């Protein structure tokens, strides 16, 4: 039986807005609550001037901001940083906003505010149907940006508490401390090996392609061949004591990718 421990960090709703009612209209009230909540925001936007504008607006109001210029970088940073909110541009040169949103929704229900120059009703409906929480059209003002973030927070419904550790009777992964033990014995992994294992166990039972693993587990995925994943998996299996074959829970699904299948206790 697989055991997960939960804590209020990942997939958590926005912090509670003390003193805010439906009649509240002053964004500064929201801002005071945001400062208390230490909200982290991931901005995925390819235009540098827009990124800088958003960073300036948000940091002035007490947000912690992480930036990504490309969609692939955004997916990787989302996995690493686990932000409270994502502001996502639709038009990007590698993965577009729709593809990034799909990958985010595979991992989390975190609020996503789509940011785009497309203002047609059809584009907005597409974004909302794809899982976005709201849509903001360029150009925008600080007041509108904060008001939409407040609206998202009110609509956000608390779902599952976040996973802080994974255990299946043999292996234990402590996500908060980035530590791994096998049968109670600590295992020393490189940062990439740890991220690779963490990605597999977070998506246990799902087959992840080499391309998906490269995006989620490598610091710089550009130019990496799928064979890099193959050798990384071999090294990870050896360090965990499972040898080179599929005798452990990390399975090779030929022609598709890799899967972590938890063992029963």
Cα distance between residue 114 and residue 133, in whole Å:
8
Q: Which of 166, 165, 172 is nearest to 186 (CA)?
A: 172
| 21 has a pLDDT exceeding 60 | no
Sign of the torsion angle spanned by Cα atoms 261, 263, 264, 265: negative
Enter the pTM of the model.
0.50
| Mean confidence (pLDDT) of the chain | 77
| 187 has a pLDDT exceeding 90 | yes
DSSP-derived letter for residue 88 is E
| 236 has a pLDDT exceeding 90 | yes
CA distances from 84 to 10, 14, 100, 151, 256 (A): 8, 7, 16, 14, 32
CA angle 211, 213, 216 (to 5 degrees): 110
Mean pLDDT of 30-35: 42
Q: How many CB atoms lie within 10 A of CB 190?
A: 12
| 68 has a pLDDT exceeding 70 | yes
Q: Which CATH number fits domain 9-155: 3.30.70.580, 3.20.20.10, 3.90.1150.10, 3.40.50.2300?
A: 3.40.50.2300
Residue boundaries of the structural domains of the chain: 9-155, 163-260
Q: How many helices (H) and strands (E) does the chain have?
A: 9, 12
Tens digits of per-residue pLDDT, 70-124? 999 999 999 888 888 999 998 888 888 888 998 888 778 789 999 887 666 666 6
Tens digits of per-residue pLDDT, 112-150? 999 887 666 666 677 677 778 888 888 888 888 888 887
DSSP-derived letter for residue 21 is -
Question: What's the topology of domain 163-260?
Answer: Arc Repressor Mutant, subunit A (1.10.10)
């Amino acid at each position: 039986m697989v055991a997960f421990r939960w804590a209020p960090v990942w997939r958590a709703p926005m912090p509670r807005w003390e003193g805010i009612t439906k009649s509240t209209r002053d964004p500064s009230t929201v801002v005071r609550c945001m400062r208390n909540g230490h909200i982290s925001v991931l901005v995925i936007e390819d235009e540098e001037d827009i990124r800088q504008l958003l960073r300036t607006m948000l940091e002035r109001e007490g947000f912690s901001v992480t930036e990504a210029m490309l969609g692939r970088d955004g997916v990787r940073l989302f996995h690493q940083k686990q932000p409270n909110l994502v502001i996502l541009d639709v038009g990007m040169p590698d993965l577009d906003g729709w593809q990034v949103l799909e990958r985010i929704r595979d991992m989390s229900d975190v609020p996503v505010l789509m940011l785009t120059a497309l203002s047609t009703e059809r584009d907005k409906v597409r974004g909302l149907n794809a899982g976005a929480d709201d849509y903001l059209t360029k150009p925008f003002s600080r007041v509108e940006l904060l008001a939409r973030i407040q609206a998202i927070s009110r609509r956000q419904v608390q779902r599952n508490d976040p996973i802080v550790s994974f255990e299946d009777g043999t292996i234990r992964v402590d996500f908060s401390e980035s530590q791994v033990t096998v049968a109670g014995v600590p295992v020393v992994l490189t940062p990439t090996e740890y991220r690779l294992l963490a990605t597999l166990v977070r998506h246990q039972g799902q087959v992840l392609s080499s391309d998906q693993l490269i995006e989620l587990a490598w610091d710089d995925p550009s130019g990496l061949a799928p064979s890099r994943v193959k050798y990384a998996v071999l090294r990870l299996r050896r360090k965990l004591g499972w040898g080179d074959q599929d005798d452990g829970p990390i399975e090779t699904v030929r022609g598709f990718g890799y899967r972590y299948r938890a063992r029963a206790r």
